[in-house]
């Protein structure tokens, strides 16, 4: 007997693999003098690393038969925590270059750091983990309901 429904653990594995694409794809970037300056490591990097590791652990737990009872709730919690990490990346950062004056105003220029293609990959990973959690929880609920009514789950 499989530990979790097949679509659920497949989505969990996809969610665990997608964040690794952001190693080579920028998550946030700024446009400066017609060149892209990529910010692969910024204030959300620890959260991104935690999100990636939690997705990986959750995907492995999906394959463990002993985790069947609580895996859906675990995946839902990881999905909720990763939503917070994604929220960090939606807030534009700011880079001041060429100094500031005595009142703290930039004298050279200001560049906004905005979400880039990698952020979309992270959103897809989050959506896959959320879908995996929902499928696992709904399947578990249907199985419990079927057992209570004495019917076999189709």
Whats the size of the chain, residue-wise? 154
Q: Are 28 and 39 in contact (CB under 8 A)?
A: yes
Lowest mean pLDDT among 10-24, 98-112, 132-146: 98-112
pLDDT of residue 1: 43
Q: Are 95 and 71 in contact (CB under 8 A)?
A: no
Angle, vertex CA 8, rays to CA 23 and CA 5, nearest 5: 150
Cα dihedral across residues 37, 41, 44, 48: positive or negative: positive
Q: 0.85 exceeded by the pTM?
A: no
Mean pLDDT over 4-8 rounds to 80
Q: Are 143 and 153 in contact (CB under 8 A)?
A: yes
Q: Are 47 and 85 in contact (CB under 8 A)?
A: yes
More confident residue, 5 or 61: 61
pLDDT, tens digit (0-9, with 9 covering 90-100), for 77-113: 999 988 888 887 777 777 766 777 888 776 777 777 7
pLDDT, tens digit (0-9, with 9 covering 90-100), for 31-73: 665 445 554 545 557 777 888 888 888 888 888 877 778 888 9
**With b meaning 16 or more CB within 10 Å and e meaning fewer, what string describes 36-75?**
eeebeeeebeebbeebbebbbebbebbeeeebbeebbebb
């Amino acid at each position: 007997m499989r530990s979790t429904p097949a679509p659920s653990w497949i989505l969990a594995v996809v969610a665990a693999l997608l964040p690794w694409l952001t190693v080579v794809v920028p998550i946030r970037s700024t446009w400066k003098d017609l060149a892209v300056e990529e910010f692969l490591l910024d204030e959300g990097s620890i959260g991104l690393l935690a999100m990636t590791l939690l997705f990986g652990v959750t995907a492995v737990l999906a394959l463990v038969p002993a985790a069947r009872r609580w895996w859906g709730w675990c995946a839902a919690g990881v999905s909720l925590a990763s939503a917070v990490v994604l929220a960090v990346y939606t807030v534009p950062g700011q880079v001041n270059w060429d100094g500031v004056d005595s009142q703290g105003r930039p004298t050279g220029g200001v560049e906004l750091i905005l979400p880039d293609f990698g952020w979309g990959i992270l959103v897809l990973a989050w959506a896959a983990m959320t879908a995996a959690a929902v499928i696992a929880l709904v399947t578990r609920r249907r199985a419990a309901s079927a057992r209570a009514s004495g019917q076999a789950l189709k």
